[in-house]
Amino acid sequence: MNQPNNTHDQAQHVNPVTVFGILTLCTIVEIALPLLHIERSVLVPLLLGISFTKAGLVAAYYMHLRYEPPIYTAIFLAPALFAGFLILTLAMG
């Protein structure tokens, strides 16, 4: 019997509790950073980076994007990269 070559079945799944722990840790860091009285020009990019990381983790593991064909990842990343470019451009201008 030939079995279809499905990468979804072959991919090793990560325990959702592990991802939840990472997201919780990121949230704690997000809450703690403003309490450290870091300069705003450093704080905002750090918080944005953590937010994009959290969004990526949610999309990759809870929305199962990591186990889908690469085109779906490209569809997700294109607006995120554009948003990052726009934020950097506006921050420098």
pLDDT digits (tens, 9 = 90+) for 40-56: 888 988 998 899 899 88
> Is position 48 within any domain?
yes
Residue with tokens 């840790």: 25
Q: How confident is the model at residue 22, as a pLDDT?
A: 95
Q: How confident is the model at residue 34, as a pLDDT?
A: 94
Q: How confident is the model at residue 19, as a pLDDT?
A: 93
Angstrom distances, CA of residue 89 to CA of 39, 51, 83: 20, 18, 10
> Is position 3 within any domain?
no
> Is position 61 within any domain?
yes
> Is position 5 within any domain?
no
If one counts the domains in the chain, the total is 1
> Is position 7 within any domain?
no
> Is position 1 within any domain?
no
Q: How confident is the model at residue 35, as a pLDDT?
A: 96
Domain hosting 82: range is: 15-92
Q: Which residues of the chain have pLDDT under 70?
A: 1-11, 93
Q: How confident is the model at residue 6, as a pLDDT?
A: 54
> Is position 78 within any domain?
yes
0.85 exceeded by pTM? no
Q: What's the distance, CA 12 to chain centroid?
A: 19
Nearest to 68 by CA among 1, 4, 19, 7: 7
> Is position 20 within any domain?
yes
